[in-house]
Amino acid sequence: MKKGIILIAIGFLLLAIDIPISVGNPYPPMETVEDLGQVIQETIINNLIGRSPRIDIISDLLGFIFLFIGAFILLRYNKGLILGMILIPCAIYLYFAIMQQPYYIIVHRDLYLKSLAYHFLFVFIEITIELIIIKAVIAMVELNQTKWNINELLIGWILAMISKGVLAGIQFFYGRGLLYIIYSVILIGATIFYLNRLYVITKYKLEGIDDKK
């Protein structure tokens, strides 16, 4: 159990840290179309698509892999983790599709609409995965003497997830400027806080339990 929880905690932390860099060949030229708003199209091009693929130095992909492995290890303790494991490949698909679709979608209208939809769908699936996994982990480790710590954990987690949603909106409307950085710091801080509460809770549960269990 301990190993699975550690892997999940690492996965949560990796997903909270976002330091993107541009890689690969530049995207083909993108032109605006008449049947969509000019401002919206330029916002999508500049703030969501960019000029070339962007990957996270602290890889989201690696974070999802840690979550999947950790959930797999803990699956025998809580079958509810299955849904989260099923959603992880969907998130990984969107992660790569978002970067690749400007190379292949010729009709710009479709590109802009899919980029917008994929951006918010990815965030929604990521939050859903974390909700399923954190609820399952809490169910496995909660004790009467840790109820207050669990409440603290949930407050920190809710703040972190709100920050993720706000960041998705900020990126769309304003790009990755100062406001984005501020909320990124809030997200990382909230994540560290609720993972610390998770550590405190699991100490009560796992103390004296052999790692092989």
Report if residue 196 sits inside a domain. yes
Chain centroid, CA 201 distance in Å: 23
Q: What is the pLDDT of residues 160-200, one digit of tens each?
A: 999 999 999 999 999 988 999 999 999 999 999 999 999 99
Q: How many domains does the chain have?
A: 1
Report if residue 147 sits inside a domain. yes
Confirm if 118 and 124 have CB atoms less than 8 A apart.
no
Report if residue 212 sits inside a domain. no
Q: What is the pLDDT of residues 144-159, one digit of tens each?
A: 888 899 999 999 999 9
Instruction: Name the residue type at position 191.
Output: T
Domain that residue 124 falls in: 2-206
Report if residue 213 sits inside a domain. no
Chain centroid, CA 92 distance in Å: 10
Q: What is the CA radius of gyration of the chain?
A: 19
Report if residue 185 sits inside a domain. yes
Report if residue 37 sits inside a domain. yes
Report if residue 30 sits inside a domain. yes
Give the pLDDT confidence score for residue 206 in this predicted structure.
67
Is the predicted pLDDT of residue 208 greater than 50, yes or no?
A: no
User: DSSP letters along 109-125, please?
Assistant: HHHHHHHHHHHHHHHHH
Tokens matching residue 2 = 């301990």
- Model confidence, pTM: 0.90
Report if residue 211 sits inside a domain. no
Is the predicted pLDDT of residue 210 greater than 90, yes or no?
A: no
